[in-house]
């Protein structure tokens, strides 16, 4: 649900309660409040530290896009699997419970 910056940071959006109710009645899905304006500002940050500072300035712990990614991974039953070597680190996407034995770094 896209909201204005003030609605997003204060949590005061008159439509959200009805949206939560509608989703609860029809599915077990998630509702993710989102502010494209704030996400854009945070994404444009030059460094991870600057991004975190921007989010904190608006009273946010993390970007909604990070939460969205986690919700999608959970919905599809995916997990992250990391391989690390002296030359590189890779992040793989696996179905939960799947063996990573077939992967080559």
Phi, psi of 33, rounded to the nearest 5 degrees: -60, 145
Phi, psi of 91, rounded to the nearest 5 degrees: -115, 125
What are the residue boundaries of the structural domains of the chain, listed by start? 5-76
Across 43-69, average pLDDT: 91
Across 79-102, average pLDDT: 87
What are the Cα distances from residue 65, in Å, to 9, 10, 42? 15, 18, 10
- The answer for residues whose C-beta is within 8 angstroms of residue 80's C-beta and 6 or more apart is 73, 91, 92, 93, 94
Choice among 13-22, 39-48, 95-104 with the minimum mean pLDDT = 95-104
Query: What is the average pLDDT value for the chain, to the nearest integer?
Result: 88
pLDDT of 102 reads 66
- The two structure tokens encoding residue 92: 């793989």
With H, G, I as helix, E, B as strand and everything else as coil, classify residue 91: strand
The pLDDT confidence band at residue 84, using thresholds 50, 70 and 90, is very high
pLDDT of 50 reads 94
């Amino acid at each position: 649900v896209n909201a204005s910056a003030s609605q997003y940071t204060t949590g005061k959006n008159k439509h959200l309660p009805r949206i939560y109710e509608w989703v609860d009645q029809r599915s077990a899905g998630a509702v993710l409040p989102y502010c494209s304006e704030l996400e854009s500002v945070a994404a444009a940050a030059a460094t991870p530290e600057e991004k975190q500072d921007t989010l904190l300035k608006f009273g946010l712990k993390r970007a909604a896009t990070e939460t969205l990614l986690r919700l999608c991974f959970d919905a599809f039953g995916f997990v992250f699997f990391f391989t690390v070597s002296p030359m590189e680190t890779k992040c793989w996407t696996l179905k939960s419970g799947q063996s990573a034995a077939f992967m080559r770094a």
